[in-house]
Amino acid sequence: MELTLGFSPCPNDTFIFDAMVNKKIDTKGLTFKTQLEDVETLNKLAMQGKLAVTKLSFGVYAKVKDQYELLNSGSALGRGCGPLLIAREHIPEEKIKDCKIAIPGENTTANLLFSLAYPAAKNKEILVFSDIENAVLDGRVDAGVIIHENRFTYQLKGLVKIIDLGEYWENTTGSPIPLGGIFIRKDIPDHIKQEVDQLIHDSLQYSYQHYPALSSYVTEHAQEMDEKVMRQHIDLYVNDFSLGLGEAGKAAVDRLMSVNK
């Protein structure tokens, strides 16, 4: 059986799915037609029900919960891993509401967290996440919400952090930050859902067994080609919650859902 599978080209996702999509492990007769896109594109595809299995922002969960259910494995969730609001120079908090802010997508968890921290800030421009740093540098926007590997590169470009939005969430709620998860369409048979969930877990375990070596699948898709940054990215976004959400992870997701109605 072939299933469509969407995830991002970022190192954390390719690290998780490498063994599974490249048949380095036994996939129990399942094959996967992959579609690698930025997370907001994946969010939009899921809102149309286009992909059987896909990475999604938890920020879009409420809009797709009638079509998709969350799997236990593969999530990006933890502490100290949230999006950052950056600018060319420090901006006083009271002036953020008047600024033009670049966000990596309307349905992203990053936008949800920014909106919780700055509910009065409405002047937003949606950009692909990898374009936000340059938009800030060029002055097209006053500030930007960055995710993924840009957490490790913005300072090298002379940009400054205004606020760690993940830290804001943790301090406000005491909860880990649920960034994104792996979802499967509800019309997929239950035994296939269980097999896919287990395969994601096994695929990640395979990658961990060979880490810190990086496969060509990870390196060829990375936006940032510095291997040190790739490992920083994996270390930040892949953890025990990625192997299995558990009760603590599910509680964190429920907490986020409670503020995103």
45 in a known ligand binding site? no
Instruction: Mark 48-67 as b/e (b = at least 16 C-beta within 10 Å).
Output: eeebbbbbbbbbbbeebeee
Catalytic residue among 148, 210, 221, 233: 148
108 in a known ligand binding site? no
How many alpha carbons fall within 13 Å on the CB side of residue 119?
3
Phi-psi region of 85 (alpha: psi -120 to 50; beta: other; left: phi over 0): beta
For 254, list phi and psi in degrees, rounded to 5.
Answer: -60, -35
Dist CA 204 CA 14 (whole Å): 10
Does the annotation mark 148 as catalytic?
yes
Q: Among 166, 151, 159, 167, which residue's Cα sits nearest to residue 232?
A: 151
173 in a known ligand binding site? no
109 in a known ligand binding site? yes
Strands 2-7 and 31-36: parallel
Dist CA 23 CA 217 (whole Å): 12
172 in a known ligand binding site? no
Binding-site residues sit at: 55-57, 109-110
Binding-site residues for substrate sit at: 55-57, 109-110
Which residues belong to the active site? 148
